[in-house]
Amino acid sequence: MTATRAQAFRGLILPGVLSLAALTVLIMLGTWQMQRLAWKEALIETIAKRVTEMPQLLPATPESLSFDLASEEYRRYIAVGRFLHQHEVQVYTVLSEPKGSFSGAGYWVLTPLARDDGSIVIVNRGFVPQELKSPASRSEGQVEGVVRITGLLRAPEQVNFFTPANDPAKNAWYRRTPSDIERAFGLKNVPPFMLDATGEYRPDMLPQPNETKLTFTNNHLGYALTWYGLACTLIGVFAAFAWQRLKGAR
């Protein structure tokens, strides 16, 4: 091997190491997206099955306080009790693709439901538009007496860094978090989940139930192919680069 060619080989060491590191990262990202794809497909299949099961009566305290949310979320449960309308909160949202009459900017109406066993379940009764935030503007929906609610069990809302924290002092709510409602009103025995009300929808019914999102974006396969494609491109680019360097050293 000539000195020039040996020098060319040595000149490929650093680019080769950097390319190998980048290739490893790209392959790891592609593999992670494939794992996410398997998780998302399993989640979609599980939810589709759970929402069609017969509703069960929500267990009494303390069993309901220690639910395994991962295995119970999106199952239908029945809760009987009385709404504490004085502790209603409205959580800001923007509803797209509605099943009912109203959509756009508005609020989820979350109302504590006091049960005979002493527990208080937070019920997401549905959506109301911005102009009907005040309970006084929709008095027909403020049901009194004992009610029987069927709803999908939901874990506390997953939020990101950009979602503001709830501010009960200003009656400004941005997150569906039962523990925040429990602390704000001094409630006791509040399970760490909500019930998203379901049931027969009537035109102009408020709050507007049955608006739980049951479809999920699943772009993981596309992302995985993108990362793997970049990995293949990197291999091709480095191979062409190395070939030119070695060819020039002959």
**Domain coordinates in residue numbering, the chain:** 3-45+218-249, 53-197
What are 174's two structure tokens?
């941005």
Under 8 Å between Cβ of 155 and 73: yes
> 1 falls in which pLDDT band (50, 70, 90)?
low
Number of DSSP helices (H) and strands (E) in the chain, helices first: 5, 7
State residue 126 phi and psi, 5-degree precision.
135, -165
Tens digits of per-residue pLDDT, 72-94?
Answer: 999 999 999 999 999 999 999 99
pLDDT, mean over the chain: 89
Please give the Cα distance from 88 to 124 (Å, whole number).
10
Question: How far apart are the C-alpha atoms of 177 and 184, rounded to whole Å?
Answer: 11
Indicate if the pLDDT at residue 124 is higher than 90: yes
pLDDT per position as a tens digit, 167-183 = 999 999 999 999 999 99
Q: 189 with 119: CB under 8 angstroms?
A: yes
For residues 197 and 211, what is the distance between their CA atoms, to the nearest angstrom?
9
pTM: 0.79
